[in-house]
Amino acid sequence: MPLSDQDRAILDFEGEWRRHRGAKEEAIRTELGLSPARYYQLLGRLIDTVEALEHDPMLVKRLRRVRDSREQARLLRASGQAL
């Protein structure tokens, strides 16, 4: 299934949000019309799709690495192991 306009807008925003002035959360509301919680929910699902990977491979791979690293850190903390 091809990416929707919203999907592309989310990926494009995530790749360039540092260029926006002000806080990221406010830019999400202003630029995309989404709450930050909904944005991150959609982005999390989106980066697991082949279509997103094809659209922006470097961004999607970076976001996957960050997510996986954070998940690993959470698992280590939950198990009582030091990082």
Residues 6 or more apart in contact with residue 67 via CB below 8 angstroms: 44, 47
**Rounded distance, CA 7 to CA 52, Å?**
8
35 in helix, strand or coil? coil
Contact present, 4 and 46 (Cβ < 8 Å): no
pLDDT band at 33 (very low <50, low <70, confident <90, very high): very high
Q: Can you list the positions of beta strands (E) in 26-74?
A: none
Q: What is the mean pLDDT of the chain?
A: 92
Give the pTM.
Answer: 0.83
**Rounded distance, CA 47 to CA 77, Å?**
25
